[in-house]
Amino acid sequence: MIPHIKALEQRFSVLIQPVENPNWNEGNGSSALTVAPYIDGPFFLLMCDHLFDPAILQHLLEVKGDTTDCLLGVDCRTNGIFDVDDATKVKLDGDVITAIGKGITSFDAIDTGLFLCQPSLFDGLREARREGYGSLSAGIMRLIRNREFRAVVIGDRFWLDVDTPESLAYAKRALLKSESKPGDDGFISSRLNRPISRKISGLLARTSVPPNGITLLSFMVCIIGAFMFSLGGYVWTVVAGLVIQLASIVDGCDGEIARLKFQSSRFGAWFDTVLDRYADTAIAVGVSYGYWMTHPHPAVWFGAILALTGFVLASYTKKEFEIRYETKPSGDVFSRLIKRDVRIFTIMLGALVNRPFEVLMLVGFLSHVGIALMFLNGYRQKYHRQHLAE
């Protein structure tokens, strides 16, 4: 176990001090007591077989304030708990925990196994140990008797106790399902791409493929599709359309795997955005070149440039809007129609009827219309703020 911990230490660039418990057979409370000499202030106590949103820990810190009580994250969504019979229940008096245990019949919340503790926990554990009880629960009961144990509701944040093959399978399904983003996904992503990408991600989750590797794979598939467009001919055009649609589906897997394995990073999000723009450029150039071979006129490249600038600026303008106005552009139907997933799917449909260039021009035009609408939205935001200031 210690070599594995050291590997984690190097992988995540954190300092980990393993502490062995020679009396582990006395109960998990004795394991907690072994770290007492190393701690002189508030500390997190976490169950190693629980999956959870790290935001829960931040929430516990925010709630803590100046209190000297121990805190426990609790879930009030008692009807939605996986295997509630095996869950540890919590009885509350306001936010004070009055009872905790798996056998409680009347309860208000479920124990998430995420604690923000004080050194007073060790006093409770020592008292319980003197009485012949070595479990963590026995020490916690001493705090409950002194009303020094409070609950913090975690809201709708994700957590799950994973201690059976069934709960592991449920955890994967729940995490992948949570990757659906109705407010951010376009029509095609939410109805077609996301259901397929979740199944692919479920398979990829069993491998060691990193999220950025999936980003690069999606990009390369898209480049292959763009090259096929440049070859011209109906067969190559159809195959190219199907290939870029496949790339669009796979493009959703990197974010899903990153969040499923808690490997999200700013670099990964930025890397994905940059490669998407290069892929968009390749598609526009490939489609335009394939059309230019049979229609050798300068207007072809002029149209290609207009379409490409629409694709790039639609994404850029949206991000700039969010930065300047600290909100997303209005989520109307049109704003979702100019998203990348809809754009690529539409070009794929154009490829199936051997009209990819004409469709490229159409989606390029719609992108510029979307940019104009975002400018109008920004102007309204400016007018509204000026009106409020007056």
Sign of the alpha-carbon dihedral angle for 182, 184, 188, 194 = negative
Place of tokens 């300047």: 324
Q: What is the mean pLDDT of residues 126-148?
A: 88
Q: What is the pLDDT of residues 102-133, one digit of tens each?
A: 888 899 999 999 999 999 999 999 998 888 88
**In the chain, at which residue ranges do the beta strands (DSSP E only) sit?**
43-46, 50-52, 70-75, 89-93, 96-101, 109-117, 149-153, 159-161
What integer pLDDT is reported at residue 388 of this predicted model? Answer: 52
Angle between helices 253-260 and 211-230 (to 10 degrees): 180
d(C-alpha 191, C-alpha 201), whole Å: 16
**Among 6-20, 104-118, 222-236, which is the least confidently predicted range?**
6-20
Q: Give the pLDDT band (50/70/90) at residue 208.
A: confident
Which residues does residue 70 pair with via DSSP β-bridges, in sequence order?
A: 149
The angle subtended at Cα 30 by Cα 29 and Cα 32, nearest 5°, is 65
Q: Is the pLDDT higher at 378 or at 289?
A: 289
Q: What is the pLDDT of residues 232-253, one digit of tens each?
A: 999 999 999 999 999 999 999 9
What integer pLDDT is reported at residue 212 of this predicted model? Answer: 94
Share of the chain above pLDDT 90, in %: 47
What integer pLDDT is reported at residue 385 of this predicted model? Answer: 59
What integer pLDDT is reported at residue 390 of this predicted model? Answer: 54
- Asked whether the whole model's pTM tops 0.75, one would answer no
Per-residue CA distances from 287 to 220, 224, 245, 249 (Å): 17, 12, 14, 20
What integer pLDDT is reported at residue 387 of this predicted model? Answer: 56
Q: Is the pLDDT of residue 328 over 80?
A: no
- Half-sphere exposure (CA, 13 Å, Cβ side) for 142? 19
What integer pLDDT is reported at residue 358 of this predicted model? Answer: 96
Q: What is the pLDDT of residues 166-203, one digit of tens each?
A: 888 888 777 777 655 545 677 898 889 988 998 898 88
* C-beta separation of 175 from 259 below 8 A: yes
DSSP string, 223-240: HHHHHHHHT-SHHHHHHH
Mean model confidence pLDDT for the chain: 87
- Give 64's contacts (C-beta < 8 A, 6+ positions apart): 42, 71, 116
Q: What is the pLDDT of residues 84-102, one digit of tens each?
A: 888 889 999 999 999 988 8
Q: Give the pLDDT band (50/70/90) at residue 302.
A: very high
Q: What is the mean pLDDT of residues 154-160?
A: 90
d(C-alpha 24, C-alpha 122), whole Å: 16
